[in-house]
Amino acid sequence: MTALGKLLRTTAFKLTLVYLTVFALFAAFLLAYFAWNTRRLITEQITQTVDAEITGLAEQYRQGGIRRLVFVVDARSRRPGSSLYLVTTRAGEGLAGNVGSLATGILETSGWTETAYRRLDDPDGAEHHALVRVFQLPAGFRLLVGRDLEERERLHDIVLAAGRWSLAIVIVLGVAGGFFVTRRVLKRVDAMTETTRKIMDGDLAGRLPIAGTGDELDRLASNLNAMLERIEALMRGLKEVSDNIAHDLKTPLTRLRNRCEEALRVAEDESQYRAALESTIEESEALIRTFNALLMIARAESGQARDGMAEIDAAEIARGVGELYEPLADDKGIHLKVEAPTAAPLHGNRELISQALANLVDNAIKYGGINGADAEIIVTARGEGDRILLAVADSGSGIPAADRGRVVERFVRLEQSRSQPGSGLGLSLASAVARLHGGELKLEDNYPGLKTVISLPRAGSVPRPPEALG
């Protein structure tokens, strides 16, 4: 497609054409209306003048007979710019006036007629048009009075010329303007197309140009840019996941394989084979768990888990998770307390938020009970402004401020935690769940210990009454 062809096919140019047609039609109509009205006005003036003259001349005739009429008509005919006069006998023989030749039959008519004529003083000149009226005088004389229509015709020509010119100007300006606007738009759209092509070729960092005028194209571009931002983040996440999978799933897989090979090589009796098989199953179970956790995180991060969301109460979740883990904490000599006195309504997925909180409590029990005798874990759920905070506070050794950002990443396990069982995905999942619900996971110092907080937006603006909750 040629550049011109492309230009002509744009929406902007087609719109220009439509507008142009509409404007041209409107201008033509306006001009025609104006011309018609003016013409009517001129005709009216002519008829009035002619009528007045006829009345005057008829009066002259009545007072002085044909002689006086001929005299007056003669005198009037000689004045420059005069009307047309002709006085004839009954037989049509001219007595006075300034009309040289007339179309035949005119004298036989009565009332208003438009006719071609030649003036007496200019018999070889061009034919003119006139509006004439024939008046029957007593005794068979006829009086013809008329006005040249040249004025009217000149006006007609002027209007026509004006119409032609303005139409030409409208079209030229319109088409030129259309080209200009279209080219500007096309240039920007082309720039966008170019960028999107680059992005499609794999350069996800590309962004659409924004002119800064805040018009609809800018809005479109900034929306598309926001979308690209999201896509890039998702792609980065995906890449991260695949890197993680490559690294952290291959390691246990290798271990698994080694164990099988070792069993084949070394085992001597059934019990040794059995032991090897059992540990293989155990190892594969751990792998499945890691795999499930990764899938869950990926789903939460991609926003796919939005289906199962409903109105839920964070206080209920805190109590439920607290109740699930209380015996385990107790077993380890940690006192687990739930503080969730009032309803904390939010819109979300009960399973996912429960699991996120369970991960935090699980971590607190694993790492927060290290400090000895009167270790305590406090699980709280409460509203704070338009946020719902689900927090787990322990009195353990905490996480140094420098590491807090890092531990949320997948598979990151700090040195001191490597001795404990775990996949290194607990906090990642909690963080992904928080983000899925439009919130965030925060790690704070509990002086001493760690306080992990899932901050989520409160549901609606009207909290449900506490007695409505189970």
User: Pick from 352, 381, 399, 450: which binds another protein (CB under 8 A)?
Assistant: 352
Whether a cis peptide bond, with omega within 30° of 0, leads into 448 is: yes
C-alpha 6: how far from chain center? 23
431 binds another protein (CB under 8 A): no
What gap in Å lies between CA 234 and CA 128, rounded to an integer? 86
**Among the residue ranges 4-12, 23-31, 162-170, 344-352, the one whose residues contact another protein (CB under 8 A):** 344-352
Q: Hey, what are 250's tokens? A: 């291959």
351 binds another protein (CB under 8 A): yes
Of 181 and 328, CB closest to another protein: 328
**Among the residue ranges 123-131, 201-209, 317-325, 440-448, the one whose residues contact another protein (CB under 8 A):** 317-325
365 binds another protein (CB under 8 A): yes
User: Pick from 307, 374, 415, 467: which binds another protein (CB under 8 A)?
Assistant: 307
Q: Cα 182–186–192 angle (5° rounding)?
A: 155
325 binds another protein (CB under 8 A): yes
What are the φ and ψ backbone dihedral angles of 337, each rounded to 5 degrees?
-125, 140
Q: Cα 138–139–143 angle (5° rounding)?
A: 60
Q: Residue holding tokens 């995906």?
A: 238
What gap in Å lies between CA 123 and CA 146, rounded to an integer? 17
327 binds another protein (CB under 8 A): yes
> How many residues bind another protein, per CB under 8 A?
36
DSSP 289-317: HHHHHHHHHHHHHHTGGGGG-EEEEHHHH
What gap in Å lies between CA 389 and CA 302, rounded to an integer? 23
Q: Which of 115, 123, 66, 116 is nearest to 98 (CA)?
A: 123
Q: Hey, what are 80's tokens? A: 């420059």
What's the min distance (Å) between Cβ of 278 and another protein?
8
Instruction: Report CA dihedral (229, 235, 238, 243) to the nearest 10 degrees.
Output: -110
CB count in 10 Å sphere of residue 224: 16
What's the min distance (Å) between Cβ of 19 and another protein?
52
What's the min distance (Å) between Cβ of 373 and another protein?
20
What's the min distance (Å) between Cβ of 330 and another protein?
8
Q: Hey, what are 400's tokens? A: 């140094």
Report whether 453 contacts 391 (CB < 8 A). Answer: yes
**Among the residue ranges 40-48, 207-215, 237-245, 285-293, the one whose residues contact another protein (CB under 8 A):** 285-293
426 binds another protein (CB under 8 A): yes
* H helix intervals, 201-269: 216-244, 250-266
Question: Site map for another protein, 56-95, x if CB under 8 A?
Answer: ----------------------------------------
The CA radius of gyration of the chain, in Å to the nearest whole number, is 51
What's the min distance (Å) between Cβ of 256 and another protein?
14
User: Pick from 359, 395, 428, 452: which binds another protein (CB under 8 A)?
Assistant: 359
What's the min distance (Å) between Cβ of 382 and another protein?
23
The footprint of another protein on residues 403-422 (CB under 8 A) is: 421-422
Task: Say if strands 376-384 and 335-339 run parallel, antiparallel, or are unpaired.
Answer: parallel
320 binds another protein (CB under 8 A): yes
Of 110 and 416, CB closest to another protein: 416
User: Pick from 75, 200, 231, 288: which binds another protein (CB under 8 A)?
Assistant: 288
Residues that bind another protein (CB under 8 A): 278, 281, 284-285, 288-289, 292-293, 295-296, 299, 305, 307-308, 320, 323-325, 327-328, 330-331, 349, 351-352, 354-355, 358-359, 362, 365-366, 421-423, 426
